[in-house]
Chain A
Amino acid sequence: GESVGLHLPTLSVQEGDNSIINCAYSNSASDYFIWYKQESGKGPQFIIDIRSNMDKRQGQRVTVLLNKTVKHLSLQIAATQPGDSAVYFCAETGRGAGGTSYGKLTFGQGTILTVHP
């Protein structure tokens, strides 16, 4: 399948630290990337997005970096808080044959972020 979720990577940090979550994507035709946060019992929540014509985008406390050469995406969270504890997914989409891959996001396996007070 396109998404493998056997053993999720984990990242454990102290409150106030900066966190970096990494993601490798596989489709070189993808041109739009999104980071989602999923808390237990909830659906994925949009954090930040970036298009392939950019290599960096900043939001509130979050920064996404895109390296198309090595097909790598990262999410940086500044001053991580306990409320940031969740599973973080990267997702990619792009123009398939004949046009946009409507509605089709290909998700990474996810990373579990745990923030200790």
Chain B
Amino acid sequence: KAGVTQTPRYLIKTRGQQVTLSCSPISGHRSVSWYQQTPGQGLQFLFEYFSETQRNKGNFPGRFSGRQFSNSRSEMNVSTLELGDSALYLCASSRDSFMNTEAFFGQGTRLTVV
């Protein structure tokens, strides 16, 4: 079966712009989580959605937001981009919470802010 699909794979944006990243989970998976990966901070949790509801949120500024659609696809948006937002953004999907079912990660979207 198809894995977690993230689009686009690579993105270059200018400071001050906004960006939307997309994640299509594995069919049947209702939970989608987002993570930011940087060399300096490692992998950090952004937020998690389940059945179109945000169930959990990490410690990121309000410029980072997300949503989930009825087909479980999820998007995250970053407004007013800063140089420090350059990172690999990863999403993971699972049937329910990580504690009950395995989570699968996508290949990520590499965002570069210039």
Q: Tell me whether A and B are bound partners.
A: yes
State the interface size on chain A (CB cutoff 8 A). Answer: 32
Given the interface contacts A102-B31, A103-B98, A104-B56, does A43 sit within 8 Å of B41 by beta carbon?
Answer: no
A32 to B55, CA, bound (A): 18
Given the interface contacts A41-B107, A43-B106, does A100 sit within 8 Å of B99 by beta carbon?
Answer: yes
A interface footprint on B76-114 (CB within 8 Å = 1, 0 otherwise)? 000000000000001010100111001111111000000
Bin chain B's interface residue count. 20 to 34
Residue numbers in A under 8 Å from B42 (CB-CB): 3-5, 89, 107-110
Q: Which applies to chain A's interface (DSSP): helix, strand, loop or mixed?
A: loop
Partner of A1, one of B41, B106, B107, B108: B41
Residue in B closest to A46 when the chains form the complex, CB atoms: B102
Across chains A and B, the number of contacting residue pairs, with CB separation under 8 Å, is 91
Partner of B97, one of A91, A103, A109, A110: A103
A100 to B107, CA, bound (A): 26
Residue numbers in A under 8 Å from B61 (CB-CB): none
A34 to B104, CA, bound (A): 12
Let me know if A32 and B107 touch, CB within 8 A.
no
Q: What's the nearest-Cβ distance from chain B to residue A33, in Å?
A: 11
Let me know if B98 and A105 touch, CB within 8 A.
yes
Let me know if A1 and B44 touch, CB within 8 A.
yes
Let me know if B33 and A104 touch, CB within 8 A.
yes
Residue in A closest to B103 when the chains form the complex, CB atoms: A46
Known: A3-B41, A104-B58, A105-B43; 19 extra A-B contacts, CB below 8 A, are A1-B44, A2-B44, A3-B43, A4-B42, A5-B39, A5-B42, A43-B108, A44-B43, A89-B43, A91-B43, A103-B48, A103-B56, A103-B92, A103-B97, A103-B103, A105-B45, A105-B103, A107-B43, A107-B44
